[in-house]
Structure 1
């Protein structure tokens, strides 16, 4: 009796590949790897370059193949598909997708959109006050402007921060590698904030002048990273509501990783 070998239909192989791709994205979400890694996994699943934006259009994570493609994704250029992300009917962000080859299957895109929407919702921060107010708040503790604890708590509350249990500040000093053009300060700020919020959604970030703690008569310890972001020099502070080093360290590391990658 001859044995018959059954070759799986191409459709079955395609379904298996899609399920494997979704499993990789779900694993990144489940492990708490952070938005950059989740978006990279989603990009591999769809074989596409991706940009994940929040509801106000601020980039949360970008997975381009080059700086030029990053600009294309963020500006919605040729070949970029712009998809709205919703959770329970509420808009939580947008996904910009540019296929590297053939367009991905619609069903796979829908599943990835659902996973990324849940992540965008998770890190969605409350409405922010003006950029100047955030900058003033981040700089004030470094300059010891607040005379009492109540003043600090009140200032934080205006920005949606509950600091009754304490807070932390991470300081990053960015060193230039070479001259750069354009509004580099805002790019640095976006990169650092994106990395910080991947671990601590409530984090605030702002550009700040460097101050020497010794000039203010204090021995405060700082967590500082020497990083390079596309040849951009800047002093950046990031503050969060957590006073537990175990919670703050991942945020600092993700900011550092985002800076090192320049994305």
Structure 2
């Protein structure tokens, strides 16, 4: 049976975003923490900002604003008016008209990932949250919105040491990349390529490849073994010492990312 979230079909959302927010139950958690009666735009923004390695987390971190500080300062709990008695709910709490409008706007795209939803939220942030971020946090919300809409330049994906910057990716992609680095280190590789990235995609629990193989009734374990072989694996007993620094992507992976 197909379910929806704030009026948007669940299959429209990025799986990593749903997992990281527990199907947006995290936004309801924020709402209860601040004592509001309905889930608003600011509550959902805070839930996104609490996701390690996410786009929103990167914005808040660079500005030096802990998401919990915004939550604590929201006037009156930060929510607007619930849309109506039959409003959609998150965690048994009604959502505001503003949040419903944000989800509707995000759903106008092909797939709702963190970046798409963040654009919709920033454009509809409640006045109290805007005052806090702009007045006390010195945030240029227009600049935030422009940055999120534009995405990141290719060079911004990597740090000075050549390693991937996790803040450049959403939670789902960050988990895949973390698995890639872990596997490369276990194999003693200083650099990793496309094969190991594919292996990580097949290995990440609940990932798109795993879901696709389950749908097709295929055994994803065979794909994991094949990609690990292509990556140049050795038996565990023969693995060399871990590299002194974190493995970095090779040139083909850099171009893909």
User: TM > 0.5 between the two?
Assistant: no
TM-score norm. by structure 2 comes to 0.25
More helix by share: 2
